[in-house]
Amino acid sequence: MRTMRLSGFSVVMLGILIVAVIVIAPSLRVLVDQQQQIAALEQAVAAKEAEVGELQSQLDRWSDPAYVVAQARQRLLFAYPGESSYLVTGRGDAQVESGIPVSSEVQTTRVDWMKALLSSTWAAGLTDATGDELAVVGGAGEGMAP
């Protein structure tokens, strides 16, 4: 280090370089932050343009009369005059758990459903038991959907 001599010009240039770094560094940091913001906003614009494209395709589908009819029939349960519309409620994936084969023939039951309904209503109205303590007709949960 002793052999190295600094001239006045070298010291001035080093000082100017240090001042330039101190002055330019915050501006460079702001520039980098702005570049990151621009990249994030460009990604947001691209996502919104994709969303606009999807919404435009949905709008184009609504200009098709067949699509409008299909949506009215599906969402609003509309039917043409003379058609019968059936609405199925409950679980569609219910299966027979007892292992008894399902018959395709119509069978009559030997249960007096009116008497069972009235006795169930009468018992439910007069009992202090909770729902878990009550017995289910035909076994506990047998053939019942949860």
pLDDT in tens, 63-97: 999 999 999 888 888 888 888 887 777 665 555 56
Distance (Å, whole) CA 44 – CA 39 = 9
Distance (Å, whole) CA 58 – CA 46 = 19
* Angle (nearest 5°) at CA 53 between 72 and 77: 10
List the chain domain ranges: 9-75
- pLDDT tens for 89-109 read 766 555 556 666 767 777 777
Instruction: Calculate the CA 44 to chain-centre distance.
Output: 21
- pLDDT tens for 1-60 read 556 677 888 888 889 999 988 888 888 889 999 999 999 999 999 999 999 999 999 999
| pLDDT, position 12 | 87
Query: CB-based burial of residue 73 (10 Å sphere; 0-12 exposed, 13-18 middle, 19+ buried)?
Result: middle
